[in-house]
Structure 1
Amino acid sequence: MSEHNVLNIVTGFTEAIQEKDELAKTGTDFKEIRGQVQQTVNQLHPKRLKLKVIEIVEETPTTKTLRFATVDGGTLPPFQAGQYINLFVDIDGVLTARPYAISSSPLQRHFYDLTVKRAQGGFVSGFLLDQVCAGQHFLSTSPMGTFCYNPLFHGDDLVFLAGGSGSAPARSMLLEILERQLPYQFHLIYVNSFEDDVIYAQELQALAEQYQNFKLTTFVTRPGENYQGRSGRLSTEILQQLLGRDLEHKMFYICGPTPFNETSAMQLQQLGIKSRRIRIEANGAPKQPDANPGWPAQLSLEDEVVVTVRGRGSFKTTAGEPLLNSLERHGYSAENACRSGECSLCRVKLVSGSVFNPPEAHLRKSDKDFGWIYSCVAFPIENIEVQL
């Protein structure tokens, strides 16, 4: 096996392969090394990680980076820059989880950095920012997600459009490029509301001054009187000025709030960028469902509906709350990860009634055909019954 195989970093992998080859020569049953294979699988992608907070860095008045290591001090599973973990929390008896992009470098295996920005009315972000301190323990999933650089198809000219905490996966991608000394161009176009909202401001500026292959362009949409940088929102004209005319071979990544993502993608398409050259990662909760076409005109977000969980009970909620959130608030757990309609882990069976699915609910055809819904982006528009 090639010495450059990424699996060689997993403790015991090389030895297990050598033993397998020796067993193959004698025809010995491979069951003898089954435990070693399972151990390797668990190192690469365990179902759950036991983590503890080892450091907290205040990035801005509304943002902190929480650094997590394993409870036993061991190495963490490898990940690709741009991936996230789903962090489980218990807040006053409510068990829930939120996905956070890993903002540290993939070359760093002893900790994961998660950058958390306060969301307006955010149930979990407020808890993580206000109540968590070093030493606390958490459970999480292994790294997951497809918002990653693919060297076979994405080329070497990368542009990242980030809004708010959407800079977290951008930082991970950037650090990997610089630390590996990869021959890629990386242009980060970073938009925030206020000057003191810019996460990693000093670090990004220092890296842009140090490395010729990294270009940083920041925008503030609500600048103060003494602000000297670029202000205003992105537009097709501004993007054209920043990117030039040679756009065909650039690869674009977009991460930020849903409205930012949608607008940025539309502007790039207006410049002639093909959709296959644009990668989008949802960052934050879905936008208000009644802002989408197809929402029942007579229905208010505050209208009350009844959700019945087959064989387990019922509860009241509102039409404007994602089904997954209301299930968790009332003590019903459902496996979940992305909370943005992408991964399908949170799917439940809709037995009766109707739900509204916004555009970001990318239901597979088979799920639609068999009555499955993705609870993180499903909004009950009448009384419903579901099966978990």
Structure 2
Amino acid sequence: MKSMKEIIISEMVHGNEILKDIEVTRKNGKDLVLERNKTKEIIGGIHAEKLELKVVEVYEVTKESKTIRLVSKNGYLPPFQAGQYINIFTIINGVRTSRPYSISSSPKQRAFYEITVARIPTGFVSDYFLDNIKVGDEFEANGPAGTFHFNPVFHHKKSVFLAGGSGITPFMSMSREILESGMDREIYLIYGCRREELAIYHEELSQMAKNHSNFHYTLVISDSDAEFTGRKGFIDAKCIKEIVGDLDNCTFYMCGPQIMTDFCMKALKELKVKDRNIRREMFGSRQDIQNEPGWPDELKGTEVFKVKVGDKVIDAKSSESLLTAIERSGLRINVCCRSGECSLCRIKLVSGNVFMPRGVLLRLADEKFGYIHSCKAYPISDLEIMF
């Protein structure tokens, strides 16, 4: 008895010939019909929903940062593009939370991933990682994600990397891939830090510049009192122009704190760089959200509001995101980028008001039906939410 598929094919022009070819293929070749149930397994290997990771090495990069080498517990790590991140979950003092960290190792090898964690003032997770993490610790993580990455097909051959603080990490992955592969690319990496001793990977980057004529590295120190013989000041238009020279046919990449990337964006506009030639990474939430343009003047960031979630009421500080408040209360919510980009932490705002800073990629449907990204929403009144 013929299947519905076979009946439909038989009614087509040359349908009977096609059916004979299918029959011959099944007898003499690989029957792909038998493989269709493996689709999820194949896709899951490339776009993993969850990774089981183990720490195999931890080493100090600066006094306030460490690199953590992670391997897969099942022996397999999915591919990624240089510049992408993984979102690592951990439990601290009974609170399950997560943080996205750029993969700093090269995508050309997948025996391990490396992430570099820098201490953040009042940092909840960074302090835990730097002070407690050790070889043998195990973590869950989302698979590699993010749209900020190096693309050798579509981007210009001349790349200008503008980094600030721990924003250097995705550029390590990009630089390593380009140099290890011998790509025909010219790289200008300009790295802004307050002091030389805080510059992550400074020695390695300096050595890379010595070994590769197409890699140009400049450290810019903003602390005028620092004992540093290199370039001082900020990554402004003059600095970029003097270091890079011809700005035509360049792709610019920026990653760093909001205040740094805002400053650099202004410099690139002054230099008349076209928007299509600028790639900017979302860099989490700023620590001083009350200084963000548009923040209500009457709020100081210390206020605590009540948030109703179903039958539960939790406390939420105005200067902390709703996502942080939800996690502190012990509730679980899906999350990945924590930067207002991926939308996994989306919740419905039933009542009340929130402050949302620049850079939140809300969809039109989100705005229409009252959904917000909890990682970039700050309570400015009592609220009711639903997720």
Give your verdict on TM over 0.5: yes
User: What is the number of residues matched between the two proteins?
Assistant: 365
Q: What letter corresponds to residue 367 of structure 2 in structure 1?
A: K
C-alpha separation between the residues in 2 aligned to 1:369 and 1:90?
Answer: 35
Structure-to-structure mapping, 1:128-139, within 5 angstroms: 128-139=129-140
* Aligned-pair CA distance for 1:225: 5.5
Aligned to 1:10: none
Tell me the amino acid that sits aligned with residue 339 of structure 1: R
Distance 2:234 2:140 in 1: 38
Correspondence list, 1:296-311, <5 A: 296-310=296-310
Aligned to 1:189, what secondary structure does the other structure show? strand
Equivalent residue number for residue 232 of structure 1:
233
Alignment of 1:156-305 (within 5 A): 156-222=157-223, 226-244=227-245, 246-305=246-305
Q: Tell me if structure 2 keeps the 8 A contact 1:191–1:220.
A: yes
In the alignment, is residue 64 of structure 1 matched against residue 66 of structure 2? Answer: yes
Which amino acid counterpart does residue 301 of structure 1 have in structure 2?
G
Question: Within 1, Cα distance between the matches of 2:24 and 2:124?
Answer: 55
Aligned mates of 2:57, 2:352 — CA distance in 1:
47
Q: Which runs of 5+ in 1 are unaligned?
A: 1-20
Sort the Cα spacing of 1:211 and 1:23 in 2 relative to 1 into closer, same or farther, 3 A: farther
Deviation at 1:172, TM superposition (A): 0.3
Corresponding residue of 2:336: 337
Q: Answer yes or no: is 1:351 the counterpart of 2:353.
A: no
Match of 2:45 among 43, 46, 64: 43
For 1:204, the aligned partner's letter is L
Percent identity (aligned) = 41
C-alpha contact (below 8 Å) 2:25/2:31 kept by paired residues: no
Residue 166 to residue 225, structure 1, CA distance change in 2 (3 Å): closer
Aligned twin of 1:386: 385
Structure 1 position 30, deviation (Å):
4.7
**Counterpart amino acid of 2:83?**
G
- What secondary structure sits across from 1:321 in the alignment? coil
SS of equivalent to 1:95: strand
1:332-387 deviations in whole A, cap 9, x for unaligned? Answer: 11111111111111100111111111112221111010110000010111111011
1:11 is matched with which residue?
A: none
**Structure 2 gap segments, 5+ residues each:** 1-20
Structure 1 residues 350 and 133, CA gap change in structure 2 (3 angstroms): same
Q: Distance in 1 between matches of 2:25 and 2:368?
A: 49
* SS at 2:281 equivalent: strand
Residues 46/133 of structure 1: CA separation in 2 closer, same or farther (3 Å cut): same
Change (3 A) 1:31 1:351: farther
- In the alignment, the residues of structure 2 paired with residue 281 and residue 200 of structure 1 have an alpha-carbon distance, to the nearest angstrom, of 19
State whether residues 49 and 70 of structure 1, in contact with CA within 8 Å, keep that contact through their aligned partners in structure 2: yes
Q: List per-residue Cα deviations over 1:103-160 (Å, max 9, x = no partner).
A: 0000111100000000001000000000110000000010000101223321100000
Q: State the match for 2:359 in structure 1.
A: 360
Q: How far 1:31 moved relative to its partner? A: 4.4
Asked if 2 retains the 8 angstrom alpha-carbon contact of 1:308 and 1:314, the reply is yes
SS at match of 1:282: coil
Give the Cα–Cα distance (whole angstroms) in 1 for the partners of residues 120 and 163 of structure 2.
16
Runs of 4+ in 1 over 4 A off after TM superposition: 21-24, 27-31
**Distance change >3 Å, CA 330–CA 230, structure 1 → 2:** same
Match of 1:12 in 2: none
User: Considering only aligned residues, what root-mean-square deviation do their CA atoms show, in Å?
Assistant: 1.8
* Separation in structure 1 between the aligned mates of residue 263 and residue 59 of structure 2, nearest angstrom: 31
Deviations 1:6-52 (A, max 9, x none): xxxxxxxxxxxxxxx98893399754212333221121112100000
**Residues 188 and 244, structure 2, Cα contact 8 Å, conserved in 1:** no
Q: Distance in 2 between matches of 1:203 and 1:24?
A: 59
Most deviating of 290-299 and 43-52: 290-299
Q: CA separation in 1, counterparts of 2:114 and 2:211?
A: 23
Q: CA–CA distance in 2 between the matches of 1:225 and 1:213?
A: 29
Within 2, Cα distance between the matches of 1:365 and 1:284?
A: 22
Task: Give distance in 1, aligned partners of 2:154 and 2:48.
Answer: 28
Q: Is the 8 A contact 2:82 2:106 kept in 1?
A: yes
AA in 2 matched with 1:26: R
What is the identity, as a one-letter code, of the residue corresponding to 1:256? Answer: G
